[in-house]
Amino acid sequence: MPRFAANLTMLFTEVPFLERFARAAAAGFSAVEFLFPYPYAVGDLRAALDRHRLSLVLHNLPAGDWDAGERGIACLPGRTEEFRAGVETAIRYAQALGVPRLNCLVGKTPPGEDPARVHATLVDNVRHAANALDAVGLQLLVEAINPFDIPGFHLTTTAQVLALLDEVGSPNVRVQYDIYHAQRAEGELAGTLSRHLARIGHVQLADNPGRHEPGTGEINYPFLFAHLDRIGYDGYIGCEYKPAGVTEAGLGWMTALTA
């Protein structure tokens, strides 16, 4: 039976962020994830998790100036010191919040830069992050993002992420496999999950088109949930989708599609 984590960046957005923990717990979730903890005091986040008996299963490394359109800085030459400082900040938050894994958004390919320099920067930064997290018992993830939602994102397919991981050469970095992004960029969901299960550290979902609840689009989620059980995936599945309406009104899919 799949275990779901509510993505608080995407769900329960009808209320301020720190109020979403209560809504997630009331809706039956025992775990949450979100993009970034950094705008909030560690103590406030820890208190919200404890008050509502929630586990935090994932958040991201700092990803640059999000409001200005940056979606990670790991592949950006000239930003290495900022990236490494962000790794240390992320570790401090993760240790305080009890989160076991951190995701690295690698960023958009910088126009006009030497591709070899971009690639070398990315490999060095991911290797540094993997080693830094390993030293404190945390796992690093890297994900591909489809080129339609974020044009120019540097990694758009599972194969690209796996090739990066091969070059980094650390056992402490795995794939964050987002079913929605994979469907848009490459398809072959069940086969990819089966072939690379040992290298997948976390799974996320949304349906396509629209990035709404499972059951609203083309992805056969009853099959995929059963498939994940069959192949032995035992981690959480992050619900990183845009509710079509009020979040709670659309949560019936969890029962309907996993029965």
Cβ count within 10 A of residue 102: 21
Q: What is the distance between the alpha carbons of residues 52 and 122, in angstroms, rounded to a whole number?
A: 38
> Cα(48)–Cα(220) distance, rounded to whole angstroms?
34
Angle formed at CA 106 by CA 140 and CA 45, multiple of 5 degrees? 55
Query: Which residues make beta-bridge pairs with 205?
Result: 239
Which of 88, 113, 240, 248 is flagged as catalytic? 240
Residues 6 or more apart whose CB falls under 8 angstroms from that of 128 comprise: 83, 84, 87
Of 166, 195, 99, nearest to 139 (Cα)?
Answer: 99
Which of 19, 70, 88, 143 is the catalytic position? 143
Give burial (CB, 10 Å; 0-12/13-18/19+) of 136: exposed
CA dist., res. 218 & res. 248, Å (int): 22
* Annotated catalytic residue 188: no
Q: Is 143 noted as a catalytic residue in this protein?
A: yes
| Tally of CA atoms within 13 A in the half-sphere of 84 that contains its CB | 12
Instruction: Please identify every residue annotated as catalytic.
Output: 143, 240
